[in-house]
Amino acid sequence: MKKNLRKEEKSKKVIEILEDLFPNPAVPLIHKDPYTLLISVLLSAQCTDERVNKITPILFNKADNPYKMVTLSIEEIQEIIKPCGLSAAKAKAIFNLSKILIENHDAKVPKSFEELEKLPGVGHKTASVVMSQAWGVPAFPVDTHIHRLAHRWGLSSGKNVVQTENDLKRIFPKEKWNTLHLQIIFFGRKFCKARGHIEHECPICRIIN
């Protein structure tokens, strides 16, 4: 039934399947507010959500807001987050962004891409997750996993995550972006892995490819 589907048709099928399999996806990172979400997303760079979720309770037990975070030294933060990798850079970013939040934003996480992306260690993808999941602003955070699936499903030929993000924003309705980002991540982990993938057993690939 499936060959030569146009991107618009593919996108509708993808939404249908994802809505059925993951109707109410929750953010996979443990957090309780925009600040702890921001720190968790920053820590997740080149690290699994599972590992981040083991480390953040320890960190947040000591410091779950900017005021408490800056009472820790960068070395103390680094020691706690070491299992997440890139700990020196991440610890420095966490300390410095916490200081900036206190000095420039009344210790609150900004509600704009521009201000978020000015913070140390916060790139466009991290800002997109915070804007979408903390503030409900339509965004389509694209990591390497979503980038890979968009290619596999024939939804984008973008050579990098920025191009893929633009492609996905064009073909999916804006009101679906925030949920789709999570649904695609969960789907990829369960059904559409990078290795050992069997196309005819994948609920999406067997329909649209």
End-to-end CA distance of the chain: 10
180: which 2 tokens? 């789709």
Is residue 3 among the annotated active site residues? no
Is residue 143 among the annotated active site residues? yes
pLDDT for residue 181 is more than 50:
yes
What's the chain's average pLDDT?
93
Instruction: Please tell me which residue, 2 or 45, carries the higher pLDDT value.
Output: 45
Give the model's pLDDT for residue 1. Answer: 41
Give the model's pLDDT for residue 7. Answer: 82
Distance between CA atoms of 59 and 36, rounded to whole angstroms? 10
pLDDT in tens, 112-165: 999 999 999 999 999 999 999 999 999 999 988 899 999 999 999 989 999 999
Give the model's pLDDT for residue 4. Answer: 56
Active site residue: 10, 64, 90, 143, which one? 143
Region 35-48: what's the mean pLDDT? 95
> pLDDT band at 8, cuts 50/70/90?
confident
pLDDT for residue 56 is more than 70:
yes
> pLDDT band at 46, cuts 50/70/90?
confident
Give the model's pLDDT for residue 208. Answer: 83
Distance between CA atoms of 141 and 201, rounded to whole angstroms? 27
What are the structural domains, with CATH classification, of the chain?
7-26+139-208 (1.10.1670.10), 34-133 (1.10.340.30)
Q: What is the pTM of this model?
A: 0.87
CB atoms within 10 A of CB 157: 10
Active site residue: 10, 90, 125, 167, which one? 125
Please state the φ and ψ torsions of residue 45, each to the nearest 5 degrees.
Answer: -60, 125
